[in-house]
Structures are given as structure tokens and as C-alpha cells.
Amino acid sequence: MTTWIKAATIRAIRTAAQTAIGAIGAATVFNGVDWRVVGGTVLLATIMSYLTSLAGLPETSKEGTTYES
């Protein structure tokens, strides 16, 4: 289970960073950065990443490479 948590957290952090960059970039083009909107968008993307990871992570499969090896 700890391998799954580690893999899911790494994936969620990457998703959060990508979402933040996109939201900040889009906000600066239109007007100004509303940090509450950016934060909410990042939080939602992070939650969705964890929920998507429940379906399975290739990083934790026995056939593929794991973070423990």
C-alpha cells in the first residue's frame, strides 16, 4: 500500500503543478491572477488525480517498474 501512496502522491503533485502553471498563465492573459480560483482549481485537480489513481497505477504493477525496486 505504501508504494501506491507514494506513486499516487508523485502523480498528484505533478498534476497540481501542471494545473497551477496553466491556471496562472490563463489568468494573466485575461486580467489578473485570482489566487482563490487558482488554489481551488489546483485542489480539484489533485483530488481528481488521487481518484483516477484508484483505478490503477502502472508504476505499482508487478509487471512494471515499482518505486521500491
Q: Tens-of-pLDDT digits for all 69 residues of the chain?
A: 688 899 999 999 999 999 999 989 888 887 788 889 889 999 999 999 999 988 888 777 766 454 444
* 9 found inside a domain: yes
Quote the number of domains for the chain.
1
Range of the structural domain that residue 6 is part of = 2-56
* 42 found inside a domain: yes
Cα–Cα distance, 17 to 13 (Å, whole number): 6
Residue 1: predicted pLDDT: 67
Instruction: Enter the C-alpha cell of residue 44.
Output: 480539484
Residue 45: predicted pLDDT: 94
* 45 found inside a domain: yes
Task: Using the CB atoms, write b or e for 8-47: b if 16+ within 10 Å.
Answer: beebbeebbeebbeebbeebeeeeeeeeeebeebbeebbe
Residue 12: predicted pLDDT: 93
The pTM of this model reads 0.71
Residues in the chain: 69
DSSP state of 61: S
